Amino acid sequence: MDIFFQQIINGLVIGSVYALVALGYTMVYGILGIINFAHGEVVMIGAMIALSIILFLFQFDIPIYLSLALVFFGAIIFCSLLAFCIEKVAYKPLRNAPRLAPLITAIGVSILLQNIAMLIWGRQYYSFPQIFNNDTYQIFGIANITTIQIIIILISLVTMFFLFYFINKTQYGMAMRATSEDKNAAKLMGIEINNVISITFIVGASLAAVAGILIAANYGIAHYSMGFMLGLKAFTAAVLGGIGNIVGAVIGGLLLGLIESLGAGYIEKLTFGFMGSNYQDVIAFLVLVLVLVIKPNGLVGEKSSTKV
Amino acid sequence: MSKNILEIKNLSIMFGGIVALDDVNMVTKKGTIHGLIGPNGAGKTTLFNIMTGIYKPTSGNVYLNEKEITGFTPNKIANLGIARTFQNIRLFNSMSVLENVLVAMHNSMNVNLIDIIFKTKKFKKEEKSKREKAEKLLEYTGLVKYINNSASSLPYGDQRRLEIARALATNPSLLVIDEPAAGMNHKETSDLKNFLDKINSDGTSILIIEHDVKLIMNLCSFVTVLDFGKIICEGVPEMVKQNKQVIEAYLGA
Amino acid sequence: MISKILPFHKKLKFIHGLFLVIIALTLLPFVIEESFGRSWLRIFDYTLIYVLLALGLNIVVGFAGLLDLGYIAFFAVGAYSWAILASPQFDIHLSFLVILPISFFIAGFFGVLLGAPTLRLRGDYLAIVTLGFGEIIRIFLNNLDHPVNVTNGPVGINMIDPVMIGTFSFNNKIVIFGIQLTNLHFYYYLLVICVILVIIICQRLENSSIGRAWVAIREDEVAAEAMGINTRNVKLLAFAMGASFGGVSGAIFSSFQGFVSPESFILIESIMVLCMVVLGGMGHIYGVVLGAFILVILPEIIRSVAAPIQESIFGVVLIDPESLRMILFGLALILVMLYRPTGLWNKKNV
Amino acid sequence: MKTNCKNNLFFFLCLVSSFFIASCDSNNSQFDSEGRKIVYIGHAGPLTGPIAHLGKDNENGVKLAIQEANDKNISLDGETIVFKVVSVDDEGKESKTTLVAQKLVDSEVSGVIGHLNSGTTIPASKIYHDEGIPQISPSATNVNYTNQGFPGAFRVMANDKQQGSALANFAINDINASKIAVIDDRTAYGKGLADIFEDTVQSLGGIISTREFTDVTKSDFTAILTKIKGLNVDLIFYAGMDVQGGPMLKQLDNLGLNVNFLTGDGCQTLQFIELAGKSSQGVYASSPGVPLDKMPGGIAFNLKYEQTFNQSIQIYGPYAYDATNTLIDAMIKANSYLPEKYLPFLKNIQFKGVTGDISFDAKGDINRGSISMYQVKNSKWEYLKTLGDN
């Protein structure tokens, strides 16, 4: 019984991680309608930059909170710049190109980032220093959770609400929605769509940076290839929830996380010992396919009526 | 054989609470040119999309030659004999004019994979005859001069023509045309009129949406007026012209 | 195309050209072997395997415009069907004349299996679902070692039979007027034949009602359907055809390699093949072939020159060839898309 | 179609010419400046990629052995010969391994030392076998390598079977575990080790409570660990690499689950301790062979190695060194560098290496497959004992 609750917690934690990253995917997709494959790598860069900053700050004795602030600040700034450049270089020129072109450049960027990171930080796995005092709490004595895990869950929810507000209530948000509806119309309404797009990328990248740090801190490990798989899972989550939809991304993320942990925990019982935890990802993907077959636009994705 | 090519009974459709079409009844006689007019948002194109299977109606039925086709898939309906053009031109831009027409002959091609892969006599014969048929059609529609140009390279008016030619290639019993004259000058419009007359006189019934009331009046033998999803008036052009509601609808009073 | 009735002298020219090509293709392996050694011939054989893959994917992505990120799965299916039907694994040893068709159809079947649920999905949803499908296949291959052992799981299947024609095994070595023919040569010829067949089939499909229907769907699905094309069947056919070619190339791969394991079918491979198609020129058969050659052979060239050059210049290897290769690969993808969004050698600029 | 033909032809010509541009590696001149016959010895391993440092380590081992051999001015069957290493990079990838194996064959090596891991060694071994070239792997431990029945395939390190059963014995007899959970990382290595461990444990009367799996792309193991927690086992055995074993232990602690943790040589590294942090305390791990200071010639070799390459031995260096010397020894005994001549001598060689006495069984596995056990005590690997030493 207690195992069940623990699995729920596990699911929520990893789900929140997916959600944080998925938000980045979903925003870019909402605006440009492209899969920003490089997003996963931006998460990785965020973690690695944070690592470098920490290792640098260790030389001087600065109050932990200041250094923490510096770490987050540095990573966010760097990732934002990176994403800004990526968009300008790899996506902007391709706004009107065949649909596959930006996808391929995205893949190219992702490969590039990963290997450059490998040249800078090398291939080794770094043990990521403890940036929070990471103690374990017991929830009603039936499940364990650590400080970082709590922070992860909170941050992902907070960011979701923040973004939701940002997009539905603020000027920029309105501009974003307008742009995603119809670029030309938006242009005509005097919206600087280039700025809107840049902002979208910057916000997404900032989230990625935060996600990167939290993930590295949670697993106590950082390396050049940590971004790719994570990116894929997050993208899956975004699609599951209905890509282009903020709430959907979070729901998708949490759902995917829960599916994975509960799946790994109980699939053996369900399949009478035929399948084990090794089929964790299979369940995740099968659920995805199922959802899309029933609701082709994801769980909360709004239906796009074919204009004829 | 019936004299009604198309019959629409108590057709209604809603989009999330909004009633786009409300209990529409309409009949198109075989061999005629039937005009469908009405202000923007009256639901004309929606009606087309239902009868060509792109939308499913909330209630009501559509009959083609007295056979019910309500809720059939677009391709099935096309094969049963309704061919359409689109309000915003939807040609296969990267393809040549000839290929655009050939695509529309897809279903009348009776070759299977084996024929294609082994380039059987049957396949060659089929291709040859279809190409000739297509060329004839382009001759007929006066597009033969572009035969190998890509569709996107055609001037606007001829793109409209090509869309009609493509529709004809499915050899339909009913041709459904959505605002063909939109953005055409006088010359092009009158050419279009003659063109449609010719098609009609060669035995294809036509149902046409058009804003150019003048064109409709000289072209059609019967006119239906749609406003806010309801039929407000139908009859011969002269009579429709006089109808108060129609005039109001158009003057937006 | 050939179907056009050419005047006699043109026909002659055509036959003449064909003859030249055949000679070139027959001599090529020896040219390569003489000038660069067998390893390059082996690389060339691998390239041909990828050419087959790229041509298959081209049907799905290039012709029908269905974005498939899990294509390598069909390669895997083909490879494992050969590995299981011709190896000590279950001590089944069928002839390749039996297995090739089998893997062709099994892969095709999987193609439909994947296609069926995804028909209603739009481009990018399709992308992620196919990606998922690819992973699912890999995970199954990687884990079907218990409770019942089918694939040996991660260890992979070893000692796979070579192609046998009668009693003659492709692993034999024979010497004809002083020239030694090895399995590299035999597989080269087998692959060349397959490639040519596939190219011919692709061309014929392209110039048939089916090919036109595919392009129509790619261009405008709504219009295509309104023209009476049954998009469902036509899409499924695209999936099936593409998958079957992948299956065949997989089967040959596993017999050539003599060993398969799930590691050869990871996601990046799917992406590689997709890049071959897009880079070369989507929907253009020869462009796709070019794409495959570039993406397989250039890295090998870099591998063999990168280290020496760096050593000669800096005295040390600053960037190891692998990462250099990947960096250049990434750059190439970006640049080509920026300056040739429709691929290096697309239909337009033939 | 005519134009297409032209394209074809043009395109193939382009290809052919592109080959000529590419650098070609035909490095086999028959004699060196002093007129000594050159005998090429191949080395294959990952010289780039995640485990390049291990590949280099092996390469150094081979180079060192070759150096010494050349200093001895060996002459075989009348002619003085000089050995030369041809080292190729398999990147640790199956997809590349057959290509580099072919490269070695092309450069007419008379013997191969390598490859490093089983995933590359097995596919490559077929090519060497086809060419009749003997191969000694210093570090491939998967049983299938020597089960293929290739007469020329040898290894100088205990295989997974020997290690797996040693680990099982240790689990039952030394840790006195009764209920055991097994986790493998779904690699050829992990599966091989875990399967044998599982079988042996059961044959020794132990209970495998569950068999869980992860894979090399994962860094979150909470789900499976939680499941294991529910089964309250008294030992977890993990067959996989350090980069995942480390985080796994941390998560084990976070879940408040403290049981004995046993693992194989994949985790018997410094990185493992670094990544696991304080959670690594008390972890048991095995490693094939014996620690350097327990090797007959260990100390001396270590000195020599560090002098020559001014860097310290990683893991398999000594084994690569021994493998090379064994090969050369067989050549000397056969008085020939021709594979068909010296292979029989290699099969029943008796060689005293720095890692111990080397002789092969019928399959080509080393006869004395010794496995050493270690335990982490305040962030250091401490040698416990050596098993399977029979």
Asked if B8 and B26 count as a contact pair (C-beta separation under 8 A), the reply is yes
Residues C58-86 have pLDDT tens digits of: 999 999 999 899 999 999 999 999 999 99
In angstroms, the separation between the Cα of residue B87 and the nearest Cα of chain A is 7
The answer to whether residue C207 neighbours chain A at the CB level (below 8 Å) is no
Task: Report the 10 Å Cβ neighbour count for B157.
Answer: 18
Q: Tell me the mean pLDDT in the region D210-222.
A: 90
Q: What are the chain C neighbours of A279 within 8 Å (beta carbons)?
A: 139, 143
Contact between A125 and D243 using a beta-carbon 8 Å cutoff = yes
What are residue D203's phi and psi, to 5 degrees? -65, -25
Least confident of A130-139, B4-13, D224-233: A130-139
Contact between C227 and B78 using a beta-carbon 8 Å cutoff = yes
Task: Extract the tokens encoding C137.
Answer: 């296949």
CA–centroid distance for B191 within its chain: 17
In a domain, A190, yes or no: yes
Contact between A308 and B15 using a beta-carbon 8 Å cutoff = no
What are the helix (H) ranges across C150-266? 183-206, 209-219, 221-226, 231-257
The answer to whether residue C67 neighbours chain A at the CB level (below 8 Å) is yes
The tally of domains found in chain C comes to: 1
Q: Tell me the mean pLDDT in the region C225-240.
A: 94
Contact between B45 and A306 using a beta-carbon 8 Å cutoff = no
In a domain, C286, yes or no: no
Tens digit of each residue's pLDDT, chain B (253 residues):
458 899 999 999 988 788 899 999 999 999 999 999 988 888 899 999 999 999 999 999 999 998 999 989 999 999 999 999 998 899 999 899 999 999 999 888 888 899 999 999 999 999 999 999 999 999 999 999 999 999 999 998 899 999 999 999 998 999 999 999 888 888 889 999 999 999 999 989 999 999 888 899 899 999 999 998 999 999 999 898 888 888 888 766 4
Interface test with C, best of A36, A94, A96, A100 (most C CBs within 10 A): A100
What pLDDT, on the 0 to 100 scale, is given for residue D13?
A: 53
Contact between C212 and B99 using a beta-carbon 8 Å cutoff = yes
Other chains touching D, judged by 3 or more CB pairs under 8 Å = A, C
Instruction: Classify domain D161-288+372-387 at the CATH class level.
Output: alpha beta
In angstroms, the separation between the Cα of residue C91 and the nearest Cα of chain B is 35
In a domain, C301, yes or no: no
What pLDDT, on the 0 to 100 scale, is given for residue D10?
A: 56
Q: Outline which parts of chain D fall under CATH 3.40.50.2300.
A: 37-158+294-359, 161-288+372-387
In a domain, A263, yes or no: no
Task: Name the closest residue on chain A to residue C330, using Cα atoms.
Answer: A108
Contact between C226 and B74 using a beta-carbon 8 Å cutoff = yes
Contact between A3 and D247 using a beta-carbon 8 Å cutoff = no
The answer to whether residue B46 neighbours chain A at the CB level (below 8 Å) is no
In a domain, C242, yes or no: yes
The answer to whether residue C154 neighbours chain A at the CB level (below 8 Å) is no
Q: Name the residue with higher pLDDT: C166 or D42.
A: D42
Task: Name the closest residue on chain A to residue C279, using Cα atoms.
Answer: A104
Q: What are the chain A neighbours of D230 within 8 Å (beta carbons)?
A: 2-3
In angstroms, the separation between the Cα of residue B92 and the nearest Cα of chain C is 6
Task: Name the closest residue on chain A to residue B45, using Cα atoms.
Answer: A308
In a domain, C291, yes or no: no
Q: Tell me the mean pLDDT in the region C251-270.
A: 91
The answer to whether residue B54 neighbours chain A at the CB level (below 8 Å) is yes
Q: Tell me the mean pLDDT in the region D64-78.
A: 91
pLDDT grade, residue C348 (50/70/90)? Answer: low
Interface test with D, best of A10, A132, A133 (most D CBs within 10 A): A10
Residue in D59, D53, D52, D58 with CA at minimum distance from that of residue D87: D59
Handedness of CA D376, D377, D383, D385 (dihedral sign): negative
Q: What are the chain A neighbours of B54 within 8 Å (beta carbons)?
A: 306, 308
In a domain, A173, yes or no: yes
The tally of domains found in chain A comes to: 1
Q: What are the chain C neighbours of D191 within 8 Å (beta carbons)?
A: 145, 153-155
Q: How far is Cα C251 from Cα C89, in angstroms, rounded to an integer?
A: 16
Contact between C210 and B116 using a beta-carbon 8 Å cutoff = yes
Q: Which of D50, D223, D277 is closest, CB to CB, to A7?
A: D223
What pLDDT, on the 0 to 100 scale, is given for residue D26?
A: 42
Task: Report the 10 Å Cβ neighbour count for C165.
Answer: 12
Residue in D109, D95, D93, D97 with CA at minimum distance from that of residue D44: D97
Q: How far is Cα C303 from Cα C326, in angstroms, rounded to an integer?
A: 11
Helix/strand/coil (H/E/C) assignment for every residue in A121-190: HCCCCEECCCCCCCCEEEECCCEEEEHHHHHHHHHHHHHHHHHHHHHHHCHHHHHHHHHHHCHHHHHHCC
Task: Name the closest residue on chain C to residue B171, using Cα atoms.
Answer: C227
Residues C321-340 have pLDDT tens digits of: 777 888 888 998 899 889 98
Residues A40-54 have pLDDT tens digits of: 999 999 999 999 999
Q: Which residues pair with D41 in a beta bridge?
A: D85, D111
> Which residues 213-252 of chain A have a CB within 8 Å of chain C?
232, 235-236, 239, 243
pLDDT grade, residue C270 (50/70/90)? Answer: very high
Task: Write down the mean pLDDT value for chain D.
Answer: 87
Asked if C33 and C181 count as a contact pair (C-beta separation under 8 A), the reply is no
Asked if A69 and A77 count as a contact pair (C-beta separation under 8 A), the reply is no
Contact between A235 and C140 using a beta-carbon 8 Å cutoff = no
Q: In what order do the strands lie in the sheet with B230-235?
A: B82-84, B174-178, B205-209, B33-37, B222-227, B230-235
Interface test with A, best of D54, D213, D227, D280 (most A CBs within 10 A): D227
Contact between C228 and B84 using a beta-carbon 8 Å cutoff = no
Contact between B103 and C227 using a beta-carbon 8 Å cutoff = yes
Q: What are the chain C neighbours of B93 within 8 Å (beta carbons)?
A: 219
Using only C-alpha atoms, chain B has a radius of gyration, in whole angstroms, of 19
Distances (CA, A) of B12 to A88, B23, B53, B59: 48, 5, 14, 5
Contacts of A142 (CB under 8 A, 6+ apart): A1, A2, A5, A6
In angstroms, the separation between the Cα of residue A303 and the nearest Cα of chain B is 11
Chains D and B lie in contact, requiring 3 or more CB pairs less than 8 Å apart: no
Other chains touching A, judged by 3 or more CB pairs under 8 Å = B, C, D
Q: How far is Cα A263 from Cα A278, in angstroms, rounded to an integer?
A: 10
The answer to whether residue B149 neighbours chain C at the CB level (below 8 Å) is no
Asked if D49 and D97 count as a contact pair (C-beta separation under 8 A), the reply is no
What pLDDT, on the 0 to 100 scale, is given for residue B251?
A: 66
Q: How far is Cα D119 from Cα B225, in angstroms, rounded to an integer?
A: 75
Residues A10-66 have pLDDT tens digits of: 999 999 999 999 999 999 988 888 888 899 999 999 999 999 999 998 888 888 888
Residue in this structure with the two tokens 């019993």, named with its chain if needed = B173
Distances (CA, A) of D330 to C182, D69, D73: 29, 13, 16
Residue in C107, C130, C110, C131 with CA at minimum distance from that of residue C118: C130
Q: How far is Cα A205 from Cα A202, in angstroms, rounded to an integer?
A: 5
What number of residues does chain A have? 308
Q: How far is Cα B63 from Cα B75, in angstroms, rounded to an integer?
A: 16
What pLDDT, on the 0 to 100 scale, is given for residue D14?
A: 53
What pLDDT, on the 0 to 100 scale, is given for residue D288?
A: 86
In a domain, A308, yes or no: no
Residues A260-302 have pLDDT tens digits of: 999 888 888 888 878 888 888 888 888 888 888 888 888 887 6
User: Does the pLDDT value for residue A305 go beyond 80?
Assistant: no
Fold annotation for D37-158+294-359: Rossmann fold (3.40.50)
Q: How far is Cα C67 from Cα C82, in angstroms, rounded to an integer?
A: 27
What are residue C128's phi and psi, to 5 degrees? -70, -35
Q: Which of C13, C32, C155 is closest, CB to CB, to D191?
A: C155
What are residue A3's phi and psi, to 5 degrees? -60, -40
Rounded percentage of chain B residues whose pLDDT exceeds 90: 67
Other chains touching C, judged by 3 or more CB pairs under 8 Å = A, B, D
Task: Report the 10 Å Cβ neighbour count for B148.
Answer: 9
What pLDDT, on the 0 to 100 scale, is given for residue C4?
A: 53
Contact between A279 and C334 using a beta-carbon 8 Å cutoff = no
Contact between B170 and C227 using a beta-carbon 8 Å cutoff = yes
User: Does the pLDDT value for residue D2 go beyond 50?
Assistant: no
Contact between D275 and A13 using a beta-carbon 8 Å cutoff = no
What pLDDT, on the 0 to 100 scale, is given for residue D17?
A: 52
pTM of the predicted model as reported, rounded to 2 decimal places: 0.91
Q: Which of A124, A223, A276 is closest, CB to CB, to D213?
A: A276
Contact between D219 and A226 using a beta-carbon 8 Å cutoff = yes
User: Does the pLDDT value for residue C2 go beyond 50?
Assistant: no
Q: Tell me the mean pLDDT in the region A237-257.
A: 91
Q: How far is Cα B123 from Cα B113, in angstroms, rounded to an integer?
A: 10
Q: Which domain holds residue C47?
A: 39-281
The answer to whether residue B87 neighbours chain A at the CB level (below 8 Å) is yes
Contact between A308 and B86 using a beta-carbon 8 Å cutoff = yes
Q: What are the chain A neighbours of D243 within 8 Å (beta carbons)?
A: 125, 221, 223
What pLDDT, on the 0 to 100 scale, is given for residue D31?
A: 80
User: Does the pLDDT value for residue D310 go beyond 80?
Assistant: yes
The answer to whether residue A97 neighbours chain C at the CB level (below 8 Å) is yes
What pLDDT, on the 0 to 100 scale, is given for residue D21?
A: 46
Domain at B1-81+172-253, CATH homologous superfamily: P-loop containing nucleotide triphosphate hydrolases (3.40.50.300)
In a domain, C292, yes or no: no
Residues D74-123 have pLDDT tens digits of: 988 888 999 999 999 888 888 789 889 998 998 899 999 989 988 899 99
Rounded percentage of chain C residues whose pLDDT exceeds 70: 96
